[in-house]
């Protein structure tokens, strides 16, 4: 092992160190720094390479350094990239920063993107900001869009009563529930001003 290092050391001295006038330890430090850089690069490629390629091939470009930054900010890169791919493929591109911000705020990124896609297909004007606000308010935004498209029919149980004179009264009620998306979002202009 020592002979290997000495061999590298001698090669380094003869080709670079002696001509450039660099000390031997500086030459070894340079080799170690280059090896560390290559190692870090390979780790990044192995960890994020497939996700980067998946996003690039889907047309939802997300940079390799953005993926590393997501991990440093404790954001799940797979969740953000999957949501971005879904939105781009549906024709509703949502910026990666908005998705990250919603994730960090405790929102459900996948539900919001699915709600945006459903609303777009149903010709409901729903923006990312509105969907995110509804989601962060605790409502299931995807269910709100579904109820807006297909209203729920709510039937009450039958209630029977008997009058003193022997006439029986049976009552039942049917209600229709339809969500008005604009009423859920407190940031719409109608409710702000």
- Domain for residue 20, yes or no? no
> Which residues have CB under 8 Å from 103's CB, separation 6+?
75, 76, 79, 80, 109
Mean local confidence (pLDDT), 89-116: 94
Report pLDDT for 9: 53
- Domain for residue 102, yes or no? yes
Range of the domain at 106: 26-192
Percent of the chain with pLDDT over 90: 37
φ, ψ at 101 (rounded to 5°): -60, -40
The number of domains in the chain is: 1
Burial of 30 (0-12, 13-18, 19+ CB in 10 A): middle
Whether the pLDDT of residue 184 is over 70: the answer is no
Mean local confidence (pLDDT), 100-123: 93
- Domain for residue 90, yes or no? yes
> Which residues have CB under 8 Å from 133's CB, separation 6+?
185, 186, 187
- Domain for residue 109, yes or no? yes
Whether the pLDDT of residue 189 is over 80: the answer is no
Half-sphere exposure of 54 (CA within 13 A, CB side): 16
Confidence of residue 57 (pLDDT cuts 50, 70, 90): very high
Report pLDDT for 191: 45
- Domain for residue 1, yes or no? no
pLDDT tens-place string over residues 116-175: 999 999 888 889 999 999 999 988 898 888 888 777 777 878 888 888 888 888 887 777
pTM check: above 0.85:
no
Report pLDDT for 78: 93
Report pLDDT for 3: 55
- Domain for residue 9, yes or no? no
Mean pLDDT of the chain: 81
- Domain for residue 94, yes or no? yes
- Domain for residue 8, yes or no? no
């Amino acid at each position: 092992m020592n002979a290997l290092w000495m061999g590298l050391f001698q090669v380094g001295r003869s080709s670079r160190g002696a001509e450039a006038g660099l000390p031997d330890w500086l030459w070894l430090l340079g080799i170690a720094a280059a090896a560390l850089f290559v190692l870090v690069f390979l780790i990044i490629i192995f960890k994020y390479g497939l996700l980067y390629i998946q996003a690039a091939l889907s047309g939802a470009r997300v940079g390799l350094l953005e993926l590393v930054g997501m991990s440093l900010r404790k954001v799940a890169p797979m969740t953000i990239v999957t949501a971005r791919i879904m939105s781009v493929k549906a024709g509703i591109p949502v910026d990666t920063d908005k998705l990250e911000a919603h994730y960090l705020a405790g929102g459900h990124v996948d539900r919001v993107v699915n709600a945006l896609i459903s609303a777009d297909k149903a010709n409901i004007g729903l923006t990312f900001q509105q969907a995110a606000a509804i989601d962060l308010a605790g409502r299931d935004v995807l269910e709100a869009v579904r109820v807006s498209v297909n209203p729920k029919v709510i039937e009450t149980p039958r209630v029977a009563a008997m009058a003193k004179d022997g006439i029986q009264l049976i009552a039942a009620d049917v209600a229709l529930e339809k969500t008005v998306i604009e009423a859920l979002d407190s940031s719409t202009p109608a409710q702000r001003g």
